[in-house]
Each structure stands twice: as structure tokens, then as C-alpha cells.
Amino acid sequence: MKRVDVVYAFIFDPLKQKVLMVNNAHSTWSLPGGAVELGETLEQGVIRETKEETGLEIEAGPILAVNEAFFTKQQHHGLMFTFQATVIDGEVQIEDKNEITEIEWVDIDTANELMPYHKNGVEELMKSSSAYTFQGNVN
């Protein structure tokens, strides 16, 4: 199996109580995000992927969740890191229509239905965080 690191941005609007989600053209609804590229940190990856998918520039906060799965069909061992994220610039727009078909702010109940892999729901994501440090190149 090939190891694949995937990053997601949890962007929450506290005034509207809504979560930003994207509809992936060849998959399902998810938070904005994708695979980390070679030589890229997790934080750089979530910033790039969010911009590529939504047109938004974000500031990445703490990691809220780490999920792990084996994707047997693709022969991938996936590690998924969900970052808290804050929009710092831009307007929501689909940047690549071959990759993303819709972008929508959804309520918490809808987000929970679309993301059943967060077993304690979006509410739990909003309460927790994990420390993250890029340690640079280690010999």
C-alpha cells in the first residue's frame, strides 16, 4: 500500500452556524482539501488545497482530528488531518470544475450527515485540537 497524507480545512462561520463543504466531482461531499504534495508540509498543503478548490486564502490553525483508513481499491494507506481554518481573503468560487462541482455553506446537522467518519460529529471538532509542529529536516 502507498501512504497518502490528506489535509482538510474545517471552516466554520460562528454567526451563521455553518460549515464550508465541497462536492468532489468523482467522489462525495467533504471539507476543502486534498493530498499533500512531495516536499510540502501539512500546513502548506491545506492552504494550497483550500485555495485551489474554493478560491479562499486561509490561515491554518490547530489540527482538530486525525483519521486513518486503508483504501483497498486504490491500495492507499490514508492519513487524514483536519485543520481548523480561518478565511483571511477571497470569495468562494469553484477554481477547477473538473474537480469540484459545488461549494456550499451547510448547517451542522447536514455536515454530520455528509461526514459520518467524524463519529462524534462536527460539534466535537469544534471542541478539540491537537498540537502540530513541523520539525524541519531531521537527520
Provide the residue ranges of all domains of the chain, joining segments of one domain with +.
2-127
For the chain, percent of residues with pLDDT exceeding 90: 63
pLDDT confidence of residue 138: 45
Lowest mean pLDDT among 3-17, 88-102, 110-124: 110-124
Q: Which CATH number describes the domain made up of 2-127? A: 3.90.79.10
- The residue with greater pLDDT, 9 or 75, is 9
Q: How many residues belong to the chain?
A: 139
Q: Which of 86, 70, 118 is nearest to 20 (CA)?
A: 86
Segment 68-78 shows an average pLDDT of 87
How much is the average pLDDT of 112-133? 76
C-alpha cell at 6: 490528506
Residue 61 vs residues 85, 98, 100, 117: alpha-carbon distances, Å: 5, 28, 24, 21
Give the angle 113-110-23 at the CA atoms, nearest 5°.
85
Give CA–CA dist 40/111, Å, rounded: 28
Comparing 62 with 132, the larger pLDDT belongs to 62
